[in-house]
Amino acid sequence: MMAPPWLEVLDDTVRACATHRRPDLAERLRERRNRLLDPKLRVVVIGESGQGKSQLINALLNAPVCAVGDDGTTAVPAVIEHSEAPRAAMITRGPAAIEGPASEPPAVESVTADANREARSGAAIVRTEIGLPRTLLADGLAFVDTPAPAAVDVVQSMSADVVMLASDATSELSPTELRLLEKVARLCPTIILALTKIDIAPRWRTVAERNRARLHECGFLATVIPVSATLRLAAARTGDKVLNAESGFGDLIRFLHHDLLGQAELLAKRTVSATSSHAVDELLGPLQEEFASTQQPGNDEVVTRWHAQGARMERLQRDSARWQTLLSDEVSDLLSDIEFDLRDRTRRVLVEADDYFDSADPQRHWEEFAEWLRANLAAVAETNSEWLLDRFEWTARKVGRQVAPHRPGALPDTLPREVPTDAVGEMRMPRVDRFGVGQKLFVGLRGSYSGVLMFGLATTVAGLNLINPISLSAGVAFGAKSVFEERGNRLKRRQASAKTAAHRYVDDFFLTYGKHSKDTARQIHRTLRDRLTAVADELRAEITESAKSIKKVIDEETAGRTARANQIRRDVEELSLLRRRAQALAATRPQPTLRGLPA
């Protein structure tokens, strides 16, 4: 036997719910499927308190099965079905459900009143089940009386085939009742509006017409049937057929029996159409929201990090050119300052050396002077070298703050401090002639000869001989004077030679140490430049790698969003097709269009 079309649509909807990870919807649809395959037609009676829905069921069945009155407000659902003999039971949950049946079953007339009273006192009553031997029920109808606050839940849990709203005829449908119908119509589109209490509402016909227009305007597939439970029960007691006809229950029973029971397939189609469409709408909502999220830009934090890495790379490129220029300028200034410092210190040493040899005799004090000069030049070399290295360390820190401000160990903490040992060499004493006894006698004789001759010739005028005491005394004086003058001249020559030797020695030191100082500066310059370049390259590699990893994450997220968006489009198309199939089951029902779906 071929399955009905609505069953295939319902099964496809169940599979769609399972595919989209909605087991709750799938389970609810399976329950609805099992109920639809049951030939019994469930009529769930709903309505606000005081609208006469319990009395409506009593009048339909001509039995006081539902509690009425101020103290009989429905608190738990009551299910009335056919049975060969009257029966009643209260269904409980929790420990009371496993205690076993009571020794005496509750009476049919009082079971709902007792259940309502116990439920209000806190008992775990789920529902009451009542069986009556009625022709209307035997033909396949079952009625469910519902508590007003739980009407929608009962319609859903009981898988209602028909919803009957009880609303008294004294006034038109209230906004609350219309909202209630809007909710239950998504679960069960076949609705009967039982306009109750027409016996006390003179204008019930006007109210009925306005309610029909209002229901049609709202798009509800509803039938309005005015009834009076009071007239129905009075007619049943007296057997008055005219009064029974005036009650309107004849029309209601004919509609239930002939129009609904005879069109079970149509009702199933309408129910499946509403149920499947509602389930598909619940599936489409999250998909639409997720699709909208896939159209938004990616992770703002990741994109910001990626742009930050790009800006950091640009900054590093600019800083690289800047710090290289800065390092070159600092080294140039340093070399100039170091050379000036070396020249100034050696000049002061030479001034002291010249002052020293203005009075000292190099022949006697040369060793002492040479030791002093070597010590001073060694101090000059050490001081100049320390300053050179201190300036380089300061320069390295200054440049390092631009290259790697937050990178510990990027530059060496200290630089090698070495003073050249060959810059201060041995100092030789200048060659000086010794003024010995023979040289003194020779110089003295030469000077005395001039004195004897000069004064001897002068004294001959006085009649004295050339050689006389006066000329001899003058010769001795002139000889002594010549010896003293020659001794002074020789000292000055020795001092000048010593000064010249000291200047030459200091010049040699300046050239040797100056060459070493410049070589050291260039070597340290290259070392710092290479180290800073390596650090910049490491930073550049890190930034590049970080940017690549971030870009990979962005690309993966973009690809994932694109793939997910495409999948959502396919899912939406499949669900839209399923929804159209569900709507086609009830062609007479208004079909609202889907909005906001991706193309």
Q: Which pLDDT tens digit goes with each residue over 419-454?
A: 555 556 666 766 655 655 666 666 666 666 676 666
- State residue 435's pLDDT score: 56
- State residue 106's pLDDT score: 78
CB atoms within 10 A of CB 57: 26
What CA–CA distances, in Å, run from 392 to 330, 337, 389?
9, 12, 5
Domain ranges of the chain: 40-62+134-278, 302-582
Burial of 413 (0-12, 13-18, 19+ CB in 10 A): exposed
CA neighbor of 151 nearest in space, from 77, 253, 234, 232: 77
565 residue type, one letter: A
Q: Strand ranges (DSSP E) for 77-220?
A: 78-82, 87-92, 125-132, 141-145, 162-168, 191-196
122 residue type, one letter: G
- Residues (pLDDT < 50) of the chain are 1, 96-103, 588-599
Element (H, E) at 318: helix 300-357
- State residue 483's pLDDT score: 65
The architecture CATH gives domain 40-62+134-278: 3-Layer(aba) Sandwich (3.40)
SS3 track for 464-486: CCCCCHHHHHHHHHHHHHHHHHH
Assign residue 299 a region (left: φ > 0; alpha: ψ between -120 and 50; beta: otherwise). Answer: beta
- State residue 223's pLDDT score: 92
What is the per-residue burial (b if ≥16 Cβ within 10 Å, else e) of 385-400?
bebbbebbbebbeebb
As a whole number of angstroms, the distance between CA 268 and CA 395 comes to: 90
- State residue 422's pLDDT score: 55
Burial of 581 (0-12, 13-18, 19+ CB in 10 A): buried
- State residue 98's pLDDT score: 38
Helices (H), 228-299: 229-238, 241-247, 249-254, 264-294
- State residue 40's pLDDT score: 85
Cβ within 8 Å of residue 92, ≥6 positions away: 123, 124, 125, 126
Phi (first) and psi of residue 342, to 5 degrees = -65, -45
Q: Is the dihedral of CA 492, 498, 502, 505 positive or negative?
A: positive
CA neighbor of 573 nearest in space, from 590, 551, 591, 597: 597
Concatenated DSSP letters of 17-47: HHHTT-HHHHHHHHHHHHHHHSS-EEEEEE-
As a whole number of angstroms, the distance between CA 92 and CA 126 comes to: 5
- State residue 167's pLDDT score: 93
- State residue 269's pLDDT score: 84
What CA–CA distances, in Å, run from 115 to 99, 109, 123, 156, 339?
17, 12, 9, 21, 111
